[in-house]
Amino acid sequence: MEFEAFLFDLDGTLIDSLEDIALACNKTLQDLNMPQRQKEEIRKHIGSGAYELFRGLLEDEALIPKAVEIFKDYYAKSPIAYTKLFNGTIEVLELLKAKNKKMVVISNKPLELSIIILKALNVDKYFEDIVGPETYKERKPSAVPILKALEKLNISPSQAVVIGDTHADIESAKNANSYSALASWGYVKLKDVKPDFILDNIYDIKTFL
């Protein structure tokens, strides 16, 4: 099946950011006098924003707002110390660009950080737009970021595929009546939702051309 627009999640789809997120997370827990967590445990809670990250790590929900504030400060100071693109990402982005496909990043990460990371990794140039939760005052799994991004591109939802590694990505695609593809190399969290396609690696995106 061929698509005109490719809407990418960021963390766990284009970039492996686990190391930097885990470092900021554990510094936060340390400040709160809470036990630090293994990277693999933190990994399970990445994908739906900082609030959900700490909802998964803290038993006391009253601590979550403070934890999020501390975390964002630590993470903003060092978002790309260890973060890297997944293998094959640039090759696939180059191919999509050569085929005149439209590409957008839609992430629940704060927009400013997404832009910093994409620029630092020298891949911001591939995307028509970069969308964060502040852009349209909605975050995935809302359909709004997808629908607004596609409206700007003048592309219908049925001509677009949302590529991401969590239920937030898959649900947002379904809510927008777009197609969804699971990036199974990422921080996979699906709940009960089922994607239209499962990608074993980023090169599988070639099957959409």
| Closest C-alpha among 193, 204, 142, 198 to residue 170 | 193
Catalytic site residue from 9, 20, 165, 169: 9
Distance CA 40, CA 111 (A): 25
Q: Which residues contact 66 (CB under 8 A, 6 or more apart)?
A: 32
Is 124 noted as a catalytic residue in this protein? no
Q: What are the distances in angstroms from CA 62 to CA 7, 69, 163, 194? A: 35, 13, 33, 33
Tell me the β-bridge partners of 15: 11, 85
Active-site positions read: 9
